[in-house]
Structures are given as C-alpha cells and as structure tokens.
Structure 1
Amino acid sequence: MQTKTKTRLGVLFVGLLFAIALYGFINSRPESVPDNLIKVNGRIEGEHHLASTKVAGKVFEVKVAEGDQVQKGQVLAVLDDAQIRAKVTQAAAAYGASLANYKASKTGLLVFEKQTPLQIESSQAQLTHVQAALKAAQASEEQARVDLKRMQKLYKKKAVSEHDVENAALNLKTLHAQAVTAETAVDQARKALALVELGWQELAAKREVTEAVKAQTLQAQAGLMEAMSVLDDMKIRSPIDGVVTTKLVNEGEVINSGTGLFDIVNLDQVFLKGYIAENQIGKIHLGLKADLYLDSLPDRPFASEIRYISSQAEFTPKEVQTQEERVKLVYVIKLYLQENPQHRVTPGLPADAYIHIE
C-alpha cells in the first residue's frame, strides 16, 4: 500500500514539474526554441507620418512637444499669418462688392423681364386703338365728301342755300384734318411699338451683363476661398492619431514650403521588423500568429501576426553582431501587434518574437 502511495506521489510530482515547465515556457521567452516555433529578433518600428507645411513662413507658435499624444487634425504649430489675414479681408471686401452688384443687376433684370412684355402689349393696344380711330376718321371724311357733292347738286337745283354748301365743305375739311391726324397717330404708334420691341434685344443684353457680373462674383468668391485656404494652411495639423516622436522646428524659425515639422507615429500600428533565414521561409505565411517579447518586459507576451513577407532575399543587415550571421541570406518580415495596451510598445525597442508554425 505504501509503495502504491509513493508511486502516485511520484507521478503527481513529475506532472507538477511538467506543468511548471510548460507554464514557464508559455509565459516567458523560451531559451530553446521547439520545432513548432521560429524565433525572430529585431526592433520595434512604426509607420512614420511627417506633418509638413504647404506654405513658407515664420513659425509663430509651436503647440506640442516630443512625446505628446496628438489627434488627427489637431493644430501642432502656427505660422505668422498677419499678411494673409489682410489678404483675406481684402478678398472678402471685393467679394461683398461684387455680390452686391450681382444682386442689383439680377433685380434689374427681373424687373425688365416683367416690364418689357407689358410695354409691348400696351404699345400694341395703342396701335390698334389709333388704327381704329383712323378708319373712323377716314369713313367720316368719305361721308362728308359724299354729302358735299350732294349739297352742290341740290344747290344747282336751288334746293339748298349757298350757306349749306359752305357748311358741308367746312365739315369735309375738318374731317380730312382729323383723318390726317389719325394717320400721324398710327405712324407714331407703329414707331413706338417698334421701339418697345427692341426691349427684347435690350433684355438679352441685360442678361449677358448679369451673367458677366455673376462670373465676376464667382471669381471674387474663389479668390476669397483661396485666401481663406492659405490662411488655414498657416496652421500645421496632425495627419493621424499618434505620438510626436521628433520635433523638427522651433518658434521664430523661417521655413520653406514642404518642410517637415513633426514626425508622428501611430502607436496602435507598430510592428517588429525581423529577419528569417532562407531555409525557414517556407515554414511561414501571412497571418501566422506570434508572441512578441520586449527586453524590458521579458515575462509579458504581446500577440502579433505576420502581415508582410519580402519577396526577395537579402544579406543580413550589419547591425547583426557576428560576421557569420551577416553573410546569410534572409527575408524581411513584419509582425504587427494586434493591440498595444497603454502604448507600452514604442519604436526603437529591441524585441524577440516566436512564430507559431502550423
């Protein structure tokens, strides 16, 4: 019975030692790499983004320092914008004046568009009226002429007096004058209608003028927008969410357009750039998982995966210590961290990774 108990205790003890060894292997950097792992070492890197200026100028204010956490669109520095502000004011005044001219021209055009057809309609009605009056005057004149002839015949027969003939002649003369006046009125009405009908051409000309003023207004608006855009460019903003790793400018310095002012790294997208030997490249592929360990945190694994494998082999870089290692052909791989809690993994830190091969 004692022998069986001792045997069981021995088995439990061996099992406990195995479990401790397995736990230590999983939760710390392995000293000897088993067959289902490939060890890769290198340094942590990140995607660098350069916050640059589009315009030349003098740095008025620097708002961040190295190590500061920044958000996309955050203002990092401001250039001296006194001159461009004056240009914005000038452009705004020019746009305001042009806009007022356009509104006035448009209002005048609308009035003329309504006025022209009314004037033409009125002139046409006037012409119709005087034409009717002319016909009536001509008819009255013709009737007076007939009456005069009849009176003259009756006078010869002594049926009417000479005074009656004179009155008929005077009436004809009066009605003839009225007919002539009516003809003149018709001629004037025709000319007035023709003049008013020129309003269609004048209306077309006013439309062209309004379109020209509109184009000038749009040009002035574009000038204002351009000036405001340049004014906004005087503020250098962060292109991403990240951390300022390098500040390349100080207040008071004069910079050229295109100058990089801040180097920013997104600490949520850091990776280990490592090298894998040529004889092991066939064992890995994109998407393989790996445990990454920092020298400063040897007992804290960070989950990562392979997202880049170079297509061509190269000689091991010179930073590898031994010459024997440097003459080997290797492939560059990048293992991206799946998460970076508290941004503890930063570019430049040495690290090792253990790739789990299938």
Structure 2
Amino acid sequence: MPFSGGNVRLSIKLLVLLGAAVALGGLAVFILPTRPADDFRIYGNVELRQISLAFENGGRVTEMLAEEGDRVRAGQVLARQDKSALELSERQASARLKALEQAVLRLKNGARPEELAQARARVESARAQADFASRQDRRMETLAGRERAVSQQDRESSRSARDVAAANLEEAQKSLELLEIGPRDEDIAQAEAEAEAARASLASIRRDIAQTELTAPRDALVRSRLLEPGDMASAQRPAFQLLVDRPKWVRAYVPEIRLGRLRPGDRADVFSDSFPERPVSGKVGYISAAAEFTPKSVQTEELRTSLVYEVRIIVEDPDNILRLGMPVTVRLAPAMPEKSS
C-alpha cells in the first residue's frame, strides 16, 4: 500500500523525536554524576573545640577588649580587672621582705667593730666597779672586826654592793663573748626562712596581679562576650566563650554493617546545604571502639533504632565554610578491602 505524503512526514517527525531522546539520554550519562558502587554517605554535624575563658580570681571588670566574631591570637589581652587593692598589698609585702632580708644580712655580718669596742668598754667599767666594791667590802670588814665601828647594816650594804658589782662584771663579759662569737646558726636559719616566706607571699601577690589581665590561651574566635565593664567576675563565671576552629571535624555515625569498609585516613568530601557545590575535603580521623545507640540528632530512618559507631571526619576548611553545629553530608570513598593471599 503506498504511503501518502502525510504519513511520510509523520514518520519523519517520530524518527527525529526518537533520535533526540536517545541523544539526550546519552548526554545525561556523561553530564549527570553517578555514585560509585563502593561509595556511601553518612550524616553528621560540624564540631569545634570550645573554651570557657574566666578570670582566675574574683574582682570587678574594668575593660572588655574583644567583641563577638573577633579573631584573637594566643597571649592577646581580652579583658582586665581592677588591681588597685592588689598593688597596695604588693607594696606592703615588698617592704616586709626588705626588712627581713636586712635582718638576715645583719645576723650574717655579726657585730660591728664599734659595737665590740663598746662592749669591751662596758667590761672594763664593770671590772673597775667590782674592784672598788670589793675593796670597800674588805675595809668595812676590817673596821667591823677591830672596834666594831661599823653597824651591821653598813656591813651588809657593802657585801651587797660587792656582789652586785661582781654580777654586773660577769654580765658584761658574757655580752662581749656573745658579740665575738656571733649569732647562732639556728637564728640565721630562722631569719632566712621568714624572708623566704615573705618572698613567696610577694610572688603570689604579683601572680594575682598578672591574673587581672585575661589573655587568650591560643588562637581562636570569640563566640560570646559574657561580661561587661563593672560586672563582678569569678572563676565560675566565664567572661568569653572561644571557638578553636583548627582542627575542625564532623561527628557522624556509621552502622555496624558498614564499619568494616572504613579505615582511619580514608578520604571524604563534606557537603553543606549552604554550599552544596563546594565540598570540603577531609579524612577519617577516629572510629569509635564501642557501639552506642543512635543519638537523637541523627535524622535518617535507617539509623534511628540501630547500634552505631561514632566516626570523626577531620576536615580542611581554609575558607571557613563549615560552622559549629552545621548539619552536613559526608561522602566517603572507603579503601578497597585487601585481597586474601
């Protein structure tokens, strides 16, 4: 049966449409990404280390030198406290230490030559007084024996004066001996210990003064500023919340049936909803040795009631695409299992 012109044109149109469909399908094979057979995906959240930075001692805040979002360097001063009371204590402790150090020096140096000369002069004076009192006592004794011209009271007074003069001489001699010998070793050790205690007290006060400046312990990002000038700070009340964005990782969970396909060091790509076209490179850094029930934050129906293993993906994010708590998709390309020999 011969074909009419209309049928021929319809057949040509059908062939053209069929060819176009085939061409589009072939193009899609090359353009659209395909998932490798050994590739699988897990879901997790970005995590960072956080630092709650607080003053070590209580006191009134005078300055807050950082704002939310500031990037700070290790050692940078972020806040200050009032230190006027501590500075007064430092002056007092410093003066006491100087006095004790001079006392130690005086004990070690011993008596001055002038002090020794003065002590010897006292001995000579006491000896002269003792000799005079002794002569007077002998004279009174002689008079009392011959004619009884001396009363009993005068006789006793001369004896008492003799004994007192002798005692004064002995005291002066002992004092001279102590000056010549010098202080005891125990006295020097005690004075040195008191000076050392004062030195430690001064060092403690100076450390407290240094602690009135709150510094960043490492390079970080200020997440929260929690105090203001005029607030009373304490060790239990943080002044700043800091984020340490290096290293940065993703905490995710893998079921036991897939655990054997992962090894530390496996490469991974991390995708976020904010930048789906800009994957962040990473690698498997930690695989838990213990199973746990799936945390509530895991959203996939497959894992909600399963025992899973925690996996941490360490990421390299120089452009700071990933933020704390951000939900992400991790595409893993596990290493092929080793062939048995």
TM surpasses 0.5: yes
- Give SS of 1:285's match: coil
1:294 maps to which of 272, 280, 286: 272
Per the TM alignment, residue 320 of structure 1 is displaced from its structure 2 partner at its CA by 3.6
Residues 92 and 18 from structure 1, CA distance in 2 versus in 1: closer, same or farther, beyond 3 angstroms? farther
Structure whose alpha-carbon radius of gyration is higher:
1
Aligned equivalents of 2:99 and 2:174: distance in 1? Answer: 34
Structure 1: gaps spanning 5 or more residues: 1-12, 26-31, 116-190
8 A contact 1:42–1:275 mirrored in 2 = yes
Equivalent residues, number: 255
1:260 maps to which of 238, 242, 252: 238
- Give SS of 1:343's match: coil
The amino acid of 1:216's aligned partner reads E
1:43 maps to which of 42, 45, 51: 45
The amino acid of 2:283's aligned partner reads E
Per the TM alignment, residue 45 of structure 1 is displaced from its structure 2 partner at its CA by 0.7
Superposed, 1:1-358 pairs within 5 Å as 21=31, 25=33, 33-108=35-110, 202-203=181-182, 205-321=183-299, 325-337=303-315, 339-358=316-335
Structure 2: gaps spanning 5 or more residues: 1-22, 117-169, 336-341
Aligned equivalents of 1:196 and 1:88: distance in 2? Answer: 39
Per the TM alignment, residue 195 of structure 1 is displaced from its structure 2 partner at its CA by 8.1
Per the TM alignment, residue 196 of structure 1 is displaced from its structure 2 partner at its CA by 12
Per the TM alignment, residue 301 of structure 1 is displaced from its structure 2 partner at its CA by 2.6
What root-mean-square deviation, in Å, do the aligned CA atoms of Structure 1 and Structure 2 show?
Answer: 3.3
Per the TM alignment, residue 322 of structure 1 is displaced from its structure 2 partner at its CA by 5.6
Aligned equivalents of 1:251 and 1:195: distance in 2? Answer: 66
8 A contact 2:93–2:202 mirrored in 1 = yes
Residue matched to 1:161: none
Per the TM alignment, residue 200 of structure 1 is displaced from its structure 2 partner at its CA by 10
8 A contact 2:250–2:313 mirrored in 1 = yes
> Deviations 1:73-115 (Å, cap 9, x if unpaired)?
2222212222112111211221222223333333338x89xx9
> Deviations 1:308-334 (Å, cap 9, x if unpaired)?
222232333323446554223322111
- Percent same amino acid among aligned pairs? 26
Instruction: Return 320-329 or 304-313, whichever deviates more.
Output: 320-329
Residue matched to 1:127: none
Instruction: Return 318-327 or 283-292, whichever deviates more.
Output: 318-327
TM-score normalized with structure 1 length: 0.62
- Which has more helix, going by share of residues? 1
Residues 354 and 322 from structure 1, CA distance in 2 versus in 1: closer, same or farther, beyond 3 angstroms? closer
- Give SS of 1:335's match: strand
Aligned equivalents of 1:289 and 1:265: distance in 2? Answer: 25
Aligned equivalents of 2:110 and 2:179: distance in 1? Answer: 14
8 A contact 1:267–1:345 mirrored in 2 = no
Aligned equivalents of 1:34 and 1:289: distance in 2? Answer: 14
Residues 228 and 201 from structure 1, CA distance in 2 versus in 1: closer, same or farther, beyond 3 angstroms? same
8 A contact 1:249–1:261 mirrored in 2 = yes
Aligned equivalents of 1:102 and 1:209: distance in 2? Answer: 9
> Deviations 1:174-226 (Å, cap 9, x if unpaired)?
xxxxxxxxxxxxxxxxx9xx9899579934x3443332222221111111001
TM-score normalized with structure 2 length: 0.65
The amino acid of 1:41's aligned partner reads Y
Aligned equivalents of 1:100 and 1:70: distance in 2? Answer: 46
8 A contact 2:43–2:298 mirrored in 1 = no
Residue matched to 1:183: none
> Deviations 1:263-294 (Å, cap 9, x if unpaired)?
21211211011111221111112222212223
